[in-house]
Chains A and B, each alone.
Chain A
Amino acid sequence: MTTTDTPGTTAPQDPQDGSAPADEGARRLPALKEMTRDLGLVVALVALLVIGVATSGERFLSVANLMVILQQAAIIGVISIGVTFVITAGGIDLSVGSVLGLATVWATTLATQTMAQDLHWLVMVFTALAVGTAAGLVNGVVVAYGRVVSFIATLAMLVAARGLAEIISDRKTQIVRVDPFLDTFRGDLLGIPVIVWIFLVVAAAGWFLLNRTTFGRRTVAIGGNPEAARLAGIKIRRHTVMVFALSGLTAGIAAVMMIARTTAGTSTNGYLYELDAIAAVVVGGTLLIGGRGTIVGTVLGVLIFSTLTNIFIQNNLSISAQSLAKGAIIVGAVLLQQRFAARSRSS
């Protein structure tokens, strides 16, 4: 990302310039609105936790179970951070699940070759990240320079990446037995699984990137009003490529976490994860048409879904019932958001 340092305005300073006292109240307003929106998600999450306790009692609230919820949230969560950027920029990325699968296959293939036994495990990690980023770059180039709608471009990648993963792995599951790798990523740090730490770090970095950097600002602008962004001198195509590459990178990070959790790479890894990620992003409050994104919302959305899954599992309910509930939550959340948006517009 380039940084533009602008020289000061040529204007003389206005005598009445300075901080306006009336400003403070107004400044808090958007933040407050954002918080009330996130607050709704927090309430939903707490309600789910209460339901969990009511139906499964102590077992549900045990530290071990909460860690399970977080671990389940972690992989989808990391992907969702990347997808948040793509959606905020007005696009969609359907390929993240497949790219994750491809990255696990590619990295584990490398790690299980006999000739690769001397390679440091970091090479495997970098391979996964590179594969993810490269796939994202391809998406971005096709969307930005080929002018293909992102839905189609990433749908093509979804299919193609899965195919490539099958070719590379010959549809076999490759078990990773690199102990230092497994020790690092399957371990705990301060009582919290490393995988969860990765999620937290990626989420924090994503928040910072979206809210505090030129990159994030421009992402919002491109999603909100591409013509305005272009006229403001933003290089839209280059930026779009970077946004998709970022999404690919998070898929690569998620691939590393996946290998660690399952100790395996297989072409079916990450199957339909793109839908879970998009659902979490949208439920979190990021506008599907672009122009507004929230990382905090995405994180809460992911947690809501993984908590829901956990409750269903704890109560031995079927996957099918779980899917039904997920569908209802998605529609309900979006309906609520629209109400909220309509009300804030009219006020």
Chain B
Amino acid sequence: MVTVDSASAPHPPQPLLRMEGIVKHFPGAKALDGVDLEVLPGEVHCLLGQNGAGKSTLIKTLAGAHRPDRGEIVMDGEPVVIGSPTAALELGIATMYQELDVVDGLTIAENIFLGHELAQGGVLRRRETHARTRQLMSRLGHPELSPSREVGQLSSAGKQIVSMARALSRDAKLIVMDEPSAVLDPEEVDNLFRVVEAVQAEGVAVIYISHRLEEIRRIGDRITVLKDGRTVATNLAVDEVSTAEVISLMTGRDVATDFGGASAGPQGEEPLLEVDGLSLAGVFEGVSFTVRPGEIVGLAGLVGAGRSEVLETLYGARRASAGVVRVRGRDLPRGSVPAAVSAGIGLAPEERKAQGLLLDEPVFRNITLSTFGRFARGGLLDERAERRAATEQIEAMQLAPSDPGRVTRTLSGGNQQKVMLARWLVHGCSILLLDEPTRGVDVGARAEIYRLIRRLAADGSAVVLVSSELEEVLQLSDEVLVLADGRVVHQGPAADIDEHRILDLVMEGTHA
């Protein structure tokens, strides 16, 4: 472990928070396996780590939503047990979650003061609540957001601001921010940082989680890096550590990710999938590309650029407002999922858990979900045949554990993704639409998914890939389309473009 000991400083201040040896196990998943963290009063402490490194579990432990199995938490020099969200709030720990923590049916003011309403004898003091809300909103640079606006009508960024206001409304000594900038545009991020600096000046400490290193350089004081549920480095001074160092700590190795070697390239000239001028009114416009067997086409761009919507429209889940989708030269009817599926198109959606998988069902039923009709005789399902077909795929994909009867929920993210892919392979899909295939998949398992995608292409599938990770798109794809605000701003071989150029394009696109 790399530790920069603060004891070498002349007068070490007493830490506001010290977590030592925190362990938390969930059934079927390791979560935290010995985390140490120390936060000083008034500092912005950045928490870094890959998806699945344990950041979310750690902050939920701090917020009282999870109880650690082992380990010690010391707040202001006193050992504490954070048994409930209320206990956390009473200790002065307020948490801004990435999502989930606002109630759509309530107004902005009602959300901010939820659980600590301004009231007398149970009767709400509305005028005061609204006045305080207006103060908070103008402090956050949004005096135009009325306290009585319903939160359900706000954008994600708006909800994030409400969430922020709520954390501020608590008399907090420590504010935990879980990727607050993910849904904010640059201007909002500036606002956020102003607020962070202001609370910092009052001695409030902030635990800041973000994937954007440049943000951490701007407002962070010290860094703690988590990997696989463990603290691998702590109390690194932001100014003294290099980006390369941080990344190698997060990944645990210095070599680049293995993307499964070079692409085998397209087979033949005959396109399997042709997309011509596809548009979805108000979302994206004029998207055209072709995919041949063995070819991988990547869609890059920021979240909200319309990438997922292109896939969903291709798949018929959304009804195109213009354009044609052709499979093997035949036009598909607009807005029909059954037509797309029977033409051999399979979609692995971004929100696997919400849109793709029946998590409480066994693996084999998920694999045969779109084909179980084939395993039926006279309306009766032949479960043995179903299991057999599933087992074949499980072996081909090296799913671990390989038990087809295992409940899908207990699999890791990477293996759930494989289940999703297996479904379409059993179906015999030759056109695979993959939306963020490595979201929620830990780094080790990613390489496996990459190899799998490569292999599927090599076997003659046409693959359309959407990913927020530019490296992933660039390394896997043969051809790349860059989308910005629903328009294709670049299209060409992946070898002809690099990450910087794509970022440039995306930025220009949003400002055009």
Contacts and interface: CB of A to CB of B under 8 A. Distances in A.
A213 B124 contact: yes
Interface stretch (B133-141, B295-303, B433-441): B133-141
Please report whether the interface of chain A is mostly helix, strand, loop or mixed according to DSSP.
loop
A291 B86 CA distance: 22
A288 B106 CA distance: 16
B102 A228 contact: yes
Contact of A214 (B63, B85, B124): B124
Contacts of A218: 114-115
B135 A229 contact: no
Contacts of A227: 100-101
B143 interface: yes
Contacts of A217: 106, 110, 114, 117, 124
B100 A228 contact: yes
Contacts, number: 154
A211 to B, nearest CB: 9
Interface string A213-232: 11101101101110111111
A9 to B, nearest CB: 6
Contacts of B202: 10-12
B144 A22 contact: yes
A235 interface: yes
B13 interface: no
Nearest to B87: A233
Interface stretch (B145-153, B260-268, B399-407, B467-475): B145-153
Given A5-B119, A214-B124, A218-B115, A19 B134 contact: yes
Contacts of B27: none
Contacts of B150: 30
Interface of A: 1-7, 9-14, 16-20, 22-23, 26-27, 29-31, 212-215, 217-218, 220-221, 223-225, 227-235, 287, 291-292
A224 B103 contact: yes
Contacts of A225: 100-104
Contacts of A23: 134, 146-147
B206 interface: no
A29 B154 CA distance: 14
Contacts of A214: 117, 119, 122, 124
Contact of B118 (A1, A6, A13, A291): A6
A224 B115 CA distance: 14
Contacts of B106: 217, 220-221, 224
Given A9-B132, A10-B202, A17 B138 contact: yes
A18 B138 CA distance: 8
A1 B122 contact: yes
Given A17-B135, A214-B124, A228-B101, A30 B148 contact: yes
